[in-house]
Amino acid sequence: MTDKIARFLEDRRPATPCLVVDVDMVEDAYLKLRELLPAARVFYAVKANPMGPVISRLARLGSNFDTASRNEIDLCLTEGATADRISFGNTIKKEADIAYAWDKGVELFAFDSEAELKKIARAAPGAKVFCRVLMECEGAEWPLSRKFGCSPEMAADLMVMARDYGLDAYGLSFHVGSQQTDLAQWDKALASVAGLFSVLRERDVDLRMVNLGGGFPARYRAKVPPLEAYAEAVNEAVRKYFGNNIPELIIEPGRSLVGDAGVLQAEVVLISRKDASEGKRWIYLDVGKFSGLAETMDESIKYRIRTPHDGGETGPVVLAGPTCDSADVLYEKTAYEMPLDLAIGDKVEILATGAYTTTYSSIAFNGFEPLKTYCI
Ligand SMILES: *Cc1c(COP(=O)(O)O)cnc(C)c1O
């Protein structure tokens, strides 16, 4: 937690739950990534945190943007990005939305199927396209699984088709899975993609770009390698498989740019036990799965939590949200300990919550307000 966020919470005493995002930390994370991977153009994955001040700061710093919908495109344009710095990176788009983006000046489109490629050829003739290749996502705490991408064999055929449709067969993309903890995954992915570059060269399609997606980490409970190690793994794999013929590189960080910049303050609503003989306390917060902490689904993302009694004796707890849905339990299987002195009414801070929280918050389930966010 930065001094700036601590001071804001102290001075303003905002109603909870609320998320406070320190936009200077987003800037620091962006500049550090640029420094570590200078050859790559950054396309910030807007879905990670689409708050206006985050987008406008990144736009001012020269970032490009990876968007998934009309609204995200409009948001980036409003906040100061130009259309040539926006990629329509969702592989699942309505043809009318492709036409809308093309009309606004967006030139770069993703696809992973023949039907999507045909839509782009019709609605954005001559556009730059890249095909997303399917990855295993092993080692990722928030895997993106089989929903996106196609097999390398299919990707090769589709890129040939893209050229034949009059599109600019620009490159290939992958995503190794979000919060990826296994650095070897980039090596695997780049080996596969470099192989496709060769295959396609033989079929007279000269690709020029590799989009390495996201996957860089935020700081949750488990230790992860430093960002330097990630950059080294990427740089090494690029050199190993492309040698002196390095293509244009794109990265699409989301979590690593905004995750650590956010602190979610919540209040303890209830502390109880299911039986007098049970040691484990149930701690209910005023924030849960439906008010921003959706990534606790399957207990995937394990946040760090600060309390006013840290340092004191602790005991095991189940952590849950405030709604009347029994799915609204944050951690039950994962061992979490909280101070025995924790009391109803105490404020707790859930750290590194700047990514994938605000927009996951439901509108009014059980009448609870969407997560309020302050960008400072
Ligand atoms: C969500 C997403 C990202 C961001 O991934 P992180 O792991 O948060 O960095 C990047 N690219 C695409 C296509 C995405 O959908």
Residue 93 has pLDDT above 90, yes or no: yes
Q: Flag whether 8 is in a domain.
A: no
pLDDT (0 to 100) of residue 183: 95
Q: Residue 143 has what pLDDT?
A: 78
- Out of 133, 252, 260, 356, mutate this one to test ligand 1's pocket (max ligand atoms within 8 Å of CB): namely 252
- DSSP, collapsed to helix, strand or coil, labels residue 42 as strand
User: pTM of the full predicted structure?
Assistant: 0.97
pLDDT (tens digit per residue) in 308-332: 999 999 999 999 999 999 999 999 9
Residue 189: which of 175, 178, 206, 169 has the closest Cα? 175
Query: Choosing from 18, 131, 150, 324, which is the catalytic residue?
Result: 324
Check whether residue 118 and residue 47 sit in a common domain.
yes
Which residue has its alpha carbon closest to ligand 1 atom 5?
Answer: 214
Pocket test for ligand 1, best of 42, 58, 108, 175 (most atoms within 8 A of CB): 175
**pLDDT tens-place string over residues 132-178:** 999 877 888 887 778 999 999 999 999 999 999 999 999 999 999 99
Residue 195: pLDDT band (50, 70, 90) is very high
What is the span of the domain harbouring residue 215? 23-257
pLDDT (tens digit per residue) in 347-365: 999 999 999 999 999 999 9
Residue 272 lies in a domain: yes
- Residues 250, 205, single domain; the answer is yes
Tens of pLDDT, residue by residue over 337-349, are 999 999 999 999 9
Mean pLDDT, rounded, of the chain? 97
- Tell me, in angstroms, the distance from the centre of ligand 1 to residue 18's CA: 24
Provide the number of structural domains found in the chain: 2
Instruction: Quote the ligand 1 centre to 337 CA distance (angstroms).
Output: 31
Whether 375 is a known active-site residue: answer: no
336 in a structural domain: yes
